[in-house]
């Protein structure tokens, strides 16, 4: 019967995935938000978080300034637990250089 050798396993280091690091162009940002709106239209917290990820990719300080909001309130509104008003969503979309549009379902 073969002997089993205990091996000391190397622990892999992992880092959390941050989608904001991969949103580089306006087209990628728009496609990301569009995917959320298509795939999870009732997930308001997820959509707000998606807007937050795009804002972080563009630079939260500049987006907050362009939207006329404080950086802290923008982080809070676009967090996973945030519940931004529709006015805030429109301001942020405009600050991100995005347009919201509607189509027949």
pLDDT given at position 30? 95
Q: Which of 56, 41, 48 is closest to 78 using CA atoms?
A: 48
Domain encompassing residue 45? 24-95
- The answer to whether 5 touches 44, Cβ cutoff 8 Å, is no
The reply to whether 3 falls in a domain is no
On average, the pLDDT of the chain sits at: 90
Q: For residues 58 and 63, what is the distance between their CA atoms, to the nearest angstrom?
A: 7
Q: Is residue 43 part of a domain?
A: yes
pLDDT digits (tens, 9 = 90+) for 11-34: 888 989 999 999 999 999 999 999
- 34/50 Cα distance (integer angstroms): 10
**Residue 51 placed within a domain:** yes
> Are 64 and 102 spatial neighbours (Cβ–Cβ below 8 Å)?
no
Number of domains, the chain: 1
pLDDT digits (tens, 9 = 90+) for 67-87: 999 999 999 999 878 899 999
């Amino acid at each position: 019967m073969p002997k089993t050798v205990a091996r000391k396993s190397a622990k892999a280091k992992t880092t959390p995935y941050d989608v904001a690091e991969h949103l580089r162009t306006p087209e990628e940002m728009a496609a990301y938000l569009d995917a959320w709106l298509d795939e999870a239209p009732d997930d308001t917290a997820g959509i707000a978080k998606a807007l937050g990820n795009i804002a972080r990719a563009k630079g939260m300080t500049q987006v907050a300034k362009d939207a006329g909001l404080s950086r802290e309130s923008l982080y809070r509104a676009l967090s996973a637990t945030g519940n931004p008003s529709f006015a805030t969503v429109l301001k942020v979309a405009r600050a991100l250089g995005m347009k919201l549009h509607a189509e027949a379902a």
